[in-house]
Amino acid sequence: MSANIKRLKLRIRSVESTLHLTKAMQLVAAGKIRRATEMLVASRSYSDAVKSVVTALSKSPECAASPFIAGHKAGASGEKTLLIVIAGDRGLAGGYNANAFRLADTVNASEIVPIGNRSVDRVVTGHMGNMSPLSNGFTTEHFKPEDAKTLAEGICERYHSGEIDKVLIVSTRYVSVLTQNAVLVQLLPLDKNASKEMFSNRGRDQKKSQVENAAPIEEHEIASASSMVFEPSPEAVLKVAIPEYLSSMIYGAVRESFASEVAARRYAMDSATKNGIVMKDNLSLEYNRARQDAITQEIVEIVAGAGE
């Protein structure tokens, strides 16, 4: 009986120690959500403006022959795909990382640019493909616009030279504190229909979103983008716009993913804390019963000994 009581006491202490950890991580995540969503809103506003310009350029007849729009012809070795995979810097965020990796595994990528410590670890251990020479151990929390610009310029240079034929990105789109969706988006070559669909999807997601001032892009905004006039020529503007477009898309995806990671971790730690409290209460009840049984047994033995 005493051994059982000791075992229950150790389990209660273990659960209490875990509760301290989950509560602390929940508070840290809750403190980061506001800042993360503010940066998310700012990045959405900029990336939406850049996408409106690129959408207009993709519909221009003068740019139709550009490899950034028409794409490359696949060589003898097949299509070479570069995949950017954005995951978290840490674990304990529910299915956040697993959902992104599951989606990334559906792509037959020639090389991968991991962003986030978990993504880097997965590539290094050989679970997700070959590391791209453009990789630089990027983290999501401290990812800067300068990092996105450097990465975008490197991608454009390699794409233009024919080293890669397609660029895809896996990230997590922030819908609300409770909902985050892993998404796969093609960055290069540009797709006219995909551009419009991307605008529409963003609008549907943002209608569900709890982020303030993140207004969805409406159809009339897309129409106004198609009436833009470019000087000196659409081709010249496209050369400048593509690196900026890639940079804004990558940076925006990182900000979306980081906000999703923080929200997912807060929810996961909240659930873990509630489950831990229930477990502690059940163990405490079992401990008190075992203790009461032990006391009752001792009283019976004393009375029986006195009767003899």
pTM for this model (two decimals): 0.80
**Host H or E run for residue 6:** helix 2-58
At position 183, the amino acid (one-letter code) is V
Residue 31 placed within a domain = no
285 pLDDT more than 50 = yes
Please report whether residue 133 resides in a domain. Answer: yes
pLDDT-above-90 percentage for the chain: 48
pLDDT of amino acid 232: 80
**How high is the pLDDT of residue 301?**
78
Last residue of a domain, one of 231, 246, 265: 265
Residues 117, 242, single domain; the answer is: yes
Residues facing 181 on adjacent strands: 173
Q: Which domain holds residue 90?
A: 42-265
* Of 54-68, 79-93, 253-267, the least confident: 54-68
Please give the pLDDT value at position 220. Answer: 45
Radius of gyration of the chain, Cα coordinates, nearest whole angstrom: 27
Are residues 120 and 11 part of one domain? Answer: no
Rounded mean pLDDT, 241-249:
93
Predicted confidence band at 195 (pLDDT cuts at 50, 70, 90)?
Answer: very low
Is the pLDDT confidence value at 224 over 70? Answer: no
Tell me if 36 is assigned to some domain. no
* 255 band by pLDDT with thresholds 50, 70 and 90: very high
Same domain, 8 and 80: no
Q: For residues 11 and 137, state if they share a domain.
A: no
120 with 164, same domain: the answer is yes
Query: Does residue 284 share a domain with residue 226?
Result: no
Q: Which of 77, 60, 42, 79 is nearest to 186 (CA)?
A: 79
Q: How many domains does the chain have?
A: 2
Average pLDDT, the chain: 83
129 shares its domain with 172: yes
Residue recorded with tokens 């659960």: 15
Q: In the predicted model, is pLDDT for residue 226 greater than 60?
A: no
Residues 6, 117 within the same domain: no
Residue 223 three-state SS: helix
On the question of pLDDT at 194 being above 60, the answer is no
| Residue 300 burial (10 A CB sphere; 0-12, 13-18, 19+) | exposed
Q: Is residue 29 part of a domain?
A: no
Stretch (H or E) spanning 211:
none
Residues 51 and 169 in one domain: yes
